[in-house]
Amino acid sequence: MIAYYVDLALRSLRRSPVLTGLMVLAIGLGIGASMTMITVLHVMTDDPLPGRSAHLYTPHLDPLPRDYHRGENSPDPSDNLTWPDAMGLLKAKRAVRQAAMAGGTLLARPAQDGLQPFYVGGRYATADIFALFGLRFEYGGGWSSADDAAGAHVVVLADMLARKLFGRADVVGRTAHLGELDYRVIGVVADWSPAPQFYADNTGTQYSDTDRFFLPLSVAIDKDLPVNGNQSGWGSDDKAGSGKRGAEMSWLQFWVELDTPAQVAAYRQYLVDYSVEQKALGRFERPPTDAKLYSLMGWLAHENLVPDDVQLQLWLALGFLFVCMLNIVALLLAKFLRRGGEISVRRALGARRRDIFAQLAIESALIGIAGGALGLAIAQLGLWSVRHRPDDYARLAQMDPTMLAGTFVLAVLASVLASLLPAWRACRIAPALQLKAQ
């Protein structure tokens, strides 16, 4: 029966090629614009660390004074941790794994002659970071907590930086010159660039930054290495407590691994207890319940990395699709009602309303499939142009198989939805009246 309906639909569509073309074009444009923007939004809000992200959490404390007033455009200092708090949480070891970290950019001098020095971004972190985020070592390994405590001058390089500095990846034991200091290479990890860079301070360009080296955080603080991102202080200049080790400047990010709901609940309680304790000591002034524990995806939602413009573009595209659908509803209605004679004959010959409805819905679905193909082409064109924009997230704008299938599903869904009203009206044509008129 379906084959017969498809045949009928094809005949009917071929009978009015201009109208069919118009409907395919309308749905193609609407789907193309919508899928371009849905894809962009999808890659921007996608899980940056599939498989691992469900175990990662970031604690949030509020060490700000009660009357702290934040400017309209300035970042929230309590998004990051102070040195004493980060060290406190690190030493308490209440999570399965935990690491404090901050970003930095250093001048790298290649060991090979004739190559210009260049700036490279990396991360200062404590020992657990590799296991915590699941980085894969190609050679060597990470450093230990003892190295952290001793401020050992060791470095883990990303494959790409190792090749750029030494011409090859197997460089464990060699000396890398970064900034003004020499470091012994103890490991090389495979290139790693989760997008967005969820663990970095949110002032950077998180969809395009990548870490190329990892240094012990203690070295960064001992040698006062330059730190990227937002370093917000709230103490007055002349009071002790400012500076990187101070309790009145936040600049560190902190991530923990928690594997079971019980561990999550316990950690959440621990953060509140910690805040109560700090409040009793007179350091914190705000309610201890300000302490929060964000899951990885929850943290990204909290940071709201999707720019307003991208959201606006999505709404615009959906509005466009909606108008295209209205257009198709009107055209289908006109088309179906004009076929009153044909429908009446079929009804008189015994077709049920249901059959007529199915036939018309299949006809619209065919339009949807053609529109989906056109929409896919338009969306690929749209994504290609997004990739050529200098935006931070541009390089990510690619369709994965799910989105590809989604395009067709959306196109067919939209066209079948658009056909509901016209098909229902067409089913209600009274056959006797129509036949008599002829």
Partner 1 sequence: MEFRPILSSLRRHKLTASLLMLQVAFTCAIVCNVVFMVAQRIQRVSVSTGIAESELSVIHSSGIGKDESPQARHAADLAALRAIPGVRSAVAVSYSLPLNRSESSRGFCPSKEALDRAMQRNSIEGSGCMQPAVYDGTPGLVDTLGLRLVAGRDFLPDEYVDKGKPAVAIITQALAKAMYPGRSALGQSMYDGHDFIRVVGIVDTLLRPAPNQPGVAGQSMIWPQRPVDAGVLYVLRSAPQDRARILRAGRAALLAASPSRLVDPQRMKTYTQIRARYFQRDITMIGLLIAAGLGLLFVTALGIAGLANFWVQQRTRTIGIRRAIGATRGDILRYFQAENFLIVGAGVVIGAVLAVALNLLLMSRYELPRLPLWYLPVGALALWALGQLSVLAPALRAAAVPPVVATRSV
Contacts with partner 1, residue ranges (CB under 8 A)? 18-19, 22, 25-26, 29-30, 33, 67-69, 72-73, 107, 116-119, 180, 307-309, 311-313, 316-317, 319-320, 322-324, 326-327, 329-331, 333-335, 337-338, 389-391, 421, 425, 438
C-beta closer to partner 1: residue 78 or 98: 78
C-beta closer to partner 1: residue 35 or 100: 35
Nearest Cα to Cα of residue 77 among 226, 246, 250: 250
Q: For the stretch 64-98, what's the b/e string if a residue is b when 16 or more beta carbons lie within 10 angstroms of its beta carbon?
A: beeeeeeeeeebbbbbbbbbbbbbebbeeebbbbb
Whether residue 150 contacts residue 181, with contact meaning beta carbons closer than 8 Å, is answered with: no
C-beta closer to partner 1: residue 142 or 382: 382
Both structure tokens of 381? 């064109």
C-beta closer to partner 1: residue 112 or 203: 203
C-beta closer to partner 1: residue 150 or 325: 325
Instruction: Output the smallest distance, CB 158 to partner 1, in A.
Output: 21
C-beta closer to partner 1: residue 141 or 307: 307
Both structure tokens of 137? 């070592």
Nearest Cα to Cα of residue 201 among 59, 63, 80: 80
> How, if at all, do strands 181-189 and 154-158 pair?
parallel
Instruction: Output the smallest distance, CB 318 to partner 1, in A.
Output: 11
Instruction: Output the smallest distance, CB 421 to partner 1, in A.
Output: 8
C-beta closer to partner 1: residue 28 or 216: 28
Residue 105 bridge partners (DSSP): 121
Instruction: Output the smallest distance, CB 19 to partner 1, in A.
Output: 6
Give every CB contact of residue 400 below 8 A, 6+ residues apart in sequence.
none
Hey, what amino acid is at 350? G
Instruction: Output the smallest distance, CB 382 to partner 1, in A.
Output: 9
Both structure tokens of 110? 């290649």
Give every CB contact of residue 361 below 8 A, 6+ residues apart in sequence.
416, 419, 420, 423
Instruction: Output the smallest distance, CB 324 to partner 1, in A.
Output: 5
Residue 281 burial class via C-beta count within 10 angstroms: exposed 0-12, middle 13-18, buried 19 and up = exposed
φ, ψ for residue 222, nearest 5 deg: -65, -45
Q: Give the CA diameter of the chain.
A: 99
Measured over the CA atoms of residue 354, residue 356, residue 359 and residue 365, the dihedral's sign is: negative
C-beta closer to partner 1: residue 67 or 224: 67
Instruction: Output the smallest distance, CB 46 to partner 1, in A.
Output: 21
Instruction: Output the smallest distance, CB 315 to partner 1, in A.
Output: 8
